A = this chain, B = another copy of it.
């Protein structure tokens, strides 16, 4: 993402928890702390692993809220809880700063290729100011509403929907294989007809290949997102039975030792539970 912004002519300062990662990015200034990184900027963008990381970087002692100039905008791209998004909005408001939630969809390849999809929510004018940046980072921006946390709701919902696709493909492919159907024929049928969407093609391909390492999106992060969606839904008294099933699958994958695999590894769990020892070939 930083590389794409530089390419587009933006001046970028980066702070990363793992300094080594920053140093790979030539022509990009590196800062010693989040506060140093945002001093004097118009826009701060955060992209971090989870609530704890975002909380410390944004609300911590040397965090962004304490150093971002008045009227500057903080764009939060991380997948975080709805509750934390609300708290950040309040904290920025108190400092006369602006806050836009802009969680992104896409695996690492998509980020590199500037092909992310971005769900955006916040003040209309702030969003308009950020639009040129979104255009650099992604292939599409979707404005969800004027309260920032609404974009986080959409992001969590989207990840829940992707996880559902993973689980349903996992079950379907296990069933097909045990029934003697070539899983490639099944997937070709599905993705040529009613399920002709990127999510089925990408993950269907991964599952057929059975290649869950190295992980594009690690199963423990998948579990985190399902936890966040369950928590946010619980706060509103919304039962999500499928999310509960998926949560158990991710836990099982971790329990059985796949904590470093891609979240699509649940296909291997489904296959093993059906008595299939590998996921690649058809065996009746």
Contacts and interface: CB of A to CB of B under 8 A. Distances in A.
Nearest to A153: B179
Interface in A139-160: 140, 142-145, 147, 150, 153-154, 157-158, 160
A190 B240 CA distance: 18
A175 B237 CA distance: 9
Interface string A60-98: 000000000000000000000010000000000000000
B255 A274 contact: yes
Nearest to A197: B197
Interface string A223-263: 10001010011101111111111011101101111000000
A243 to B, nearest CB: 7
B192 A199 contact: no
Contacts of A182: 144-145
A143 B192 CA distance: 13
A44 to B, nearest CB: 24
Contact of A242 (B232, B242, B255): B242
A132 interface: no
Interface in A251-284: 251-252, 254-257, 270, 272-275
Contacts of A147: 180
Given A157-B186, A197-B194, A171 B243 contact: yes
Interface of A: 82, 105, 117, 119, 140, 142-145, 147, 150, 153-154, 157-158, 160-162, 164, 167-169, 171-172, 174-176, 178-182, 185-186, 188-190, 192-200, 223, 227, 229, 232-234, 236-245, 247-249, 251-252, 254-257, 270, 272-275
